[in-house]
Structure 1
Amino acid sequence: MKKQYVVIGLGRFGTSVARTLVEQDADVLVIDKNEEKINDAMHYATHGVQADATDENALKSLGIRNFDVACVCLGEIQSSIMAALICKEQGIDLVVVKAQSEVHAKVLYKMGVDKVVFPERDMGIRVAHNLLSSNILDFIELSDDYGIAELEAHAAWVGETLIDLDFRKKYGLSVIAIRHGETDVNVNPLPGDRISAGDVVIVIGSEEQISKLEENK
């Protein structure tokens, strides 16, 4: 069953996230107070509703608890915090929120928000890419086309060496580190190093190459 996504707030960032999710064949509900933005969203979103995202009853009536992922993209800090709190209280598994400042981010994390993003650091298309993939943990943009991705070791990689997997030949990617647990990081691993269950493999390459690896994992 496909995951259900809700994007709250249709500024430039929220619109970018929603469009990218839909382009990847995801089911997306968009919510915004602005009727014109909702009307525009109906050209690309699965569903669109004009509503105040800080109104708990309004979100409950939309069945917000049935969604797997919520991306709160509101520009006003108080509204952002209220909407995020409602999403968490309704039991949504993954709540991602756009933050305006480090203080805003700290408040959100203390509330239990799962991930905080900054528009100037995380383009909406990258955030959507991360949400859609169960394997990519994080993506750091180096340029318009290239980046560094952290990937959970797939079952097929466990017990294999880097030379066996040959990421460079198959995908054009370079493995720059392997993380074992939270603190043990093998920087610039050797071809004979093996991947263990639970490892995180850190690769560098183009977004296209990283997507190809994810599709063929």
Structure 2
Amino acid sequence: MNLRSLKFLSSLRRDNRQFAVIGLGRFGRAVAVSLYNMGYEVLGTDIDEKLVASALNEKIATHTIRLDSTEPIALKEAGIYEFDTVVVAIGNYVQESIITTLNVKEGGVAHVVAKASSQIHGKLLERVGADQVVFPEYEAGCALAYTLTKPAILDRFDLDPNHSIVEVLVPEEFDGKTIAEIQLRSHYGLTLLAVAEDEETFQINPLPNQRLVKGAAMVVLGSNKDIKKLPI
């Protein structure tokens, strides 16, 4: 269960059907191929002809074209302004990222998600109209820190600074006990959302009489303070 993907997916409006991804580096490619595999129409663009050719060969998007996103006319001719959501994934080139974000917002795109490489970069993107700013390197670093210091935490999605959804290994203290017996809500202040049936599937809203097995995974929701109380 990839909780980190929720952070991007939660920003998407339900009526979105078409996405344009500007910048086909590692982050842009990951976004494009994920959306494409989910069945959405995706246009991938980059100024680098090699990246565009690679994306075309690997079929990571519905369409791929080469363009200079700092040129409003090029964006208009490519039909970028007609897309529901545009993802500006040019995080390492601050000037081009800001100009591109400004261009697509002035072009009338309703929802623009922009990648930032620093806090200052993020503030500038917000100033020129980005609806959502993401920091993938920072988020990946935080996730790695949790993995290194709390190996029982498999995945984490921060709802806000104080609350999270986490996927954790069932601790030894819970082994063989039913969900009702561990009294997760009264003892820890947490809500159990799902329990692993096997390595690939989860049972959502499991029954109170289901027994937990040490080493299996479970997904819980609650405050970060309460999550730290878990015996993991």
TM-score normalised by L of structure 1: 0.62
Q: Please provide the CA RMSD for this pair.
A: 2.8
Who is 1:109 aligned against? 126
Q: Which amino acid aligns with 2:75?
A: L
Who is 2:72 aligned against? 56
Query: 1:94 Cα deviation (Å)?
Result: 1.6
User: Bigger radius of gyration, 1 or 2?
Assistant: 2
Who is 2:159 aligned against? 150
CA separation in 2, counterparts of 1:52 and 1:96? 18
Which of 9, 23, 40 does residue 9 from structure 1 map onto?
23
| Cα contact 2:113–2:131 (8 A) shared by 1 | yes
Q: 1:120-172 CA distances to partner (integer Å, 9 max, x unpaired)? A: 1245xxxxxxxxxxxxxxxx845494112539xxxxxxxxxx89x96346534
CA separation in 2, counterparts of 1:91 and 1:122? 29
Which of 51, 55, 73 does residue 41 from structure 1 map onto?
55
CA separation in 2, counterparts of 1:77 and 1:175? 36
Query: 1:2 Cα deviation (Å)?
Result: 5.3
Matches for 1:12-161 after TM superposition, within 5 Å = 12-42=26-56, 43-74=59-90, 75-122=92-139, 141=143, 142-143=146-147, 145-150=154-159
Q: Which amino acid aligns with 2:87?
A: C
CA separation in 1, counterparts of 2:193 and 2:54? 42
| Cα contact 1:2–1:27 (8 A) shared by 2 | no
Structure 2 stretches of 5 or more lacking a match?
1-14, 148-152, 161-184, 196-202, 205-217, 227-232
| Cα contact 1:69–1:93 (8 A) shared by 2 | yes
Aligned pairs, number: 154
Q: Which amino acid aligns with 2:71?
A: D
Who is 1:182 aligned against? none
Q: 1:153-206 CA distances to partner (integer Å, 9 max, x unpaired)? A: xxxxxxxxx89x9634653422205xxxxxxxxx86xxxxxxxxxxxxxxxxxx
Quick check: 1:167 aligned with 2:176? no
Q: Which amino acid aligns with 1:52?
A: D
CA separation in 1, counterparts of 2:139 and 2:82? 27
CA separation in 2, counterparts of 1:115 and 1:60? 22
CA separation in 1, counterparts of 2:16 and 2:88? 20
Query: 1:15 Cα deviation (Å)?
Result: 1.3
Runs of 4+ in structure 1 over 6 Å off: none
CA separation in 2, counterparts of 1:28 and 1:96? 14
TM-score normalised by L of structure 2: 0.58
Q: Which amino acid aligns with 1:72?
A: V
